[in-house]
Amino acid sequence: MRAMSPPFGTPFGIQSRRDDPRRPLLQGVLVLLCLGLPAAVVPDVYKYVDKDGNVYFSDEPLSGAHLSLEWKRTSKRLAAENKQQSEAHRRRQEEAMARVQARLDSHAVNVSAARPSAPVSGSMSERRARYRHLIEANASRYGLSPALLHAVIRTESAYKANALSHAGACGLMQLMPATAARFGVGDIWSPAENIRGGSAYLRFLLDLFDGDLRLALAGYNAGENAVKKFGNQIPPYRETQDYVRKVLRHLAAERLAHRS
């Protein structure tokens, strides 16, 4: 941004082009109003534009043939406009959060309705216990439930740290090398690094799809672009659809075991 010196007058602030020209000025006026200064000492504001498109704000009229007055606002009007914009922004945020919460609530009902799979037992139970502390640590780090990480790992690798798929996915959470690199995994075969990378990816997917667990799981299996391609729906791939159902069944089993 290139600062321009006004030809006359004392400007509140200057912006070189037309993008968001009132923001510095609005902030200054609002500060004065919030300090309780009388309206008389808070000046009116003039916005001028020169022939090159440079914008000037001033607390007094400016002269010059190359300047054209775009608008004049009283301090009260600027404050009122800013308040109105802030309230509209707050309402949009509240509405967005309400939509996200409603979606989370609806999916919580659907997940709890999934038929639980059989409890983990035998050698898988021993492997599960081996990685429990890593799972809990990463669940806390990324704001996930340990039950979800257990369900994904059980589905992906049955807790086998050396699992390798035909497509080249590696380790406990079956990370593809590109995904591992994307989330800063140095050693894809390290259980600690693998679980951290997979947890970071799940967190990313949940945020991307507004907390929709089914879409996040579909993205984990098929990639987020596949979910977007089909209009933010689970892709019509049998493997992906079976994967989502399987993880939800394991998740239901984890929650049931936790309650008992």
**Strands 45-50 and 55-58, how do they pair?**
antiparallel
pLDDT of residue 13: 42
The yes-or-no verdict on residue 32 having pLDDT over 70 is: no
Please indicate whether residue 156 is annotated as part of the active site.
Answer: yes
Q: pLDDT of 39-61, one tens digit each?
A: 445 568 888 888 888 887 777 78
pTM for the model stands at: 0.58
pLDDT of residue 7: 46
Rounded to the nearest 5 degrees, what angle is found at the Cα of 66, between the Cα atoms of 61 and 67?
30
Annotated active-site residue in 70, 94, 136, 156: 156
The pLDDT mean for the chain works out to 81
The yes-or-no verdict on residue 106 having pLDDT over 80 is: no
Q: pLDDT of 146-204, one tens digit each?
A: 999 999 999 999 999 999 999 999 999 999 999 999 999 999 999 999 999 999 999 99
Domains of the chain are 1-113 (no CATH), 119-259 (1.10.530.10)
pLDDT of residue 97: 63
- Three-class SS of residue 242? helix
DSSP 8-state class, residue 62: -
